[in-house]
Amino acid sequence: MPKGDTPPPAPDSPGFRLPDATEVGRSMADVAERSQRIVTEWLKRQTDATRSPDPLNIGGAFLEMTARLMANPARMVQAQMGFWQDYMTLWQNTARRMMGMESAPVINGSASDRRFKDDAWRDNEVFDFIRQSYLLSARYVQDVVTHVDGLDAKTAQKVDFYSRQFVDAMSPSNFLMTNPEVLRKTAETGGENLLKGLNNLLSDLERGKGKLHIKMTDTDAFRVGENIGVSPGKVVYQNDLMQLIQYTPATETVLKRPLLICPPWINKFYILDLRPKNSFVRWAVSQGHTVFVISWVNPDAKLAEKGFEDYMTDGYLAALDAIEAATGQREVNAIGYCLGGTLLGSTLAYMAAKGDDRIKSATFFVAMLDFAEAGELGVFIDEEQLRALEGKMNKRGFLEGSEMATTFNMLRANDLIWSFVVNNYLLGNEPFPFDLLYWNSDSTRMPAKMHSFYLRKMYQENLLATPGGISLNGVPIDLGTIKTPAYFLSTREDHIAPWKSTYRGTQLLGGKKRFVLAASGHIAGVVNAPESGKYSHWVNTALPPDPEAWFHGATEIAGSWWPDWQRWVTALGKEHVPARVPGDGKLTPIEDAPGSYVKVRAA
């Protein structure tokens, strides 16, 4: 037998376990009963006869790509010839390996690709052939679709994105008979993993009422306010859209200017207070800040008519009034995370027009102000898709949180979809308790009016970057009028707000600015406590128009960016006052942090 060839044990060998017939019978009866119920629920929902057969307009994009390909057959033939030459080399190398001879791989793939982490993908000749064959095919498909002449940028982006979705779905790691780890476990358990996996699949379908709602973590392992989101504090103000939390001080004196943090309302705020050891809230309190955090409501149909300007007036502006009542301080430092940062920029321009200078420093966490190059989220923003989305939202009054979560998961499909398909359904494992994934699955809804405005005026038309392009409460917004000192924090591997897009904000605002780039992505790069010792960051005091020029002139510094921000913000105001306890001012605490709004879960 060739080296590395380790087939599953034979049925009569000690390593092979036969399934228990009684248990299988019981499981299959349960499967049949649950499947019938799921199908019945699914059919009840299929009543919209006017539903578009292609709401994402994928078909049109691929038809245009095909027509362009056929117009240049020489390019297609060249790509096919290269693919077949590589494939023949792979056959020859595999034959050499089977005869016990050394042979270099034709294609290796990325070292970070966790789909092929099992040693058998390289040690076993058959699985090594399957892996390399897939990687060659994937490279061929991507090479063809990304080198089509004449496609407009939006169509090319859509074709590339959905081609990768197809390629990722077809990975041999996603199938029983071509995944060595799954085959090994099937032999060891007598197929019990597949029965457990089928039950996991049915449970996910039941939870999604006929739609697949993949369970990423043990949702029973976490309780907001009990083992996540536990920094002590009080809700000191609330309205229809938000609760304002004031956190308990941890130092005898605090900076005179309170700190207001506005998270995105696409997700919940406790990503900044996930666990004590990586809580930005707790760290900021320990550094002497009086921390206030906006906890957005999880809206329902009653809030369908709440618009973007309502989030400004009932969010930032209401919070500023409440903070003054709670502390007696008119001036604050403000942080906006992602969409909360987009709102911060809009609010600052509105306040500049009104002569309101209460925000003395502005920090933008992975926030876009210019949406010209919005990354792969732009795939979902064309007229056909927006009309379909608005039709859905107008019926319900909101965008369901799970639909937004699915969109974000597709941006990292191998990590956030297919890895769980393999773990939960093929290996039959229960999801591991992981607080970050619990937060990721704790999705929020979006009011119909606000979300339509946001997608159209910013993502589709990019009007926020145009002076006077949008108006809020009747006031034209011009980001160039903002003179507030600004700190931009972006992350190098951000798939939601690409750093080169967020960098454009430095060219729009009129005041003094600092741009810092952290390693990792949209969440891990931001929530990176100094004690973790993870992820470096880059600094450069120059702000040239080209982000690549900024990066080439930047200096990499080991560890978290948090201390850099603390030095920056304290340099703008060093004065201290006695620590402020929630309830000491004019506002009476309503309830303990993290409040009740954050505990409302979407369906």
Active site (annotated) includes residue 338: yes
CA distance 222 to 167: 35
* Amino acid letter, residue 31: V
**How is residue 439 annotated by DSSP?**
H
- Report helix, strand or coil for 360: strand
Give the distance between the most distant pair of CA atoms in the chain: 83
**How is residue 427 annotated by DSSP?**
S
Rg (CA), the chain: 27
Count Cβ atoms below 10 Å from residue 552 Cβ, excluding itself.
10
- Of the candidates 425, 441, 282, 263, the residue with the CA atom closest to the CA atom of residue 338: 263
Cβ-count burial of 40 within 10 angstroms (0-12 exposed, 13-18 middle, 19+ buried)? Answer: exposed
**Run of H or E including 28:** helix 21-45
CA distance 447 to 527: 27
CA distance 137 to 374: 29
Q: For tokens 């539903």, name the residue.
A: 51
Name the token pair of 602: 């979407």
- Judge contact between 328 and 355, C-beta under 8 A: no
- Of the candidates 218, 290, 228, the residue with the CA atom closest to the CA atom of residue 259: 290
Name the token pair of 453: 């405005």
- What region does 397 belong to: left with phi over 0, alpha with psi -120 to 50, or beta? left
**How is residue 103 annotated by DSSP?**
-
Long-range contacts of the stretch 91-96 (C-beta < 8 A, 24+): 94/125, 94/128, 94/129
Contacts of 70 (CB under 8 A, 6+ apart): 76
CA distance 421 to 414: 10
CA distance 102 to 88: 17
CA distance 490 to 529: 16
Angle of helix 73-98 relative to helix 125-145, nearest 10 degrees, comes to: 170
CA distance 253 to 247: 14
CA distance 597 to 178: 46
- Judge contact between 154 and 460, C-beta under 8 A: no
- Of the candidates 56, 84, 82, 58, the residue with the CA atom closest to the CA atom of residue 147: 82
Task: Spot the catalytic one: 214, 323, 338, 598.
Answer: 338
- What region does 556 belong to: left with phi over 0, alpha with psi -120 to 50, or beta? beta
Active-site annotation, residues: 338
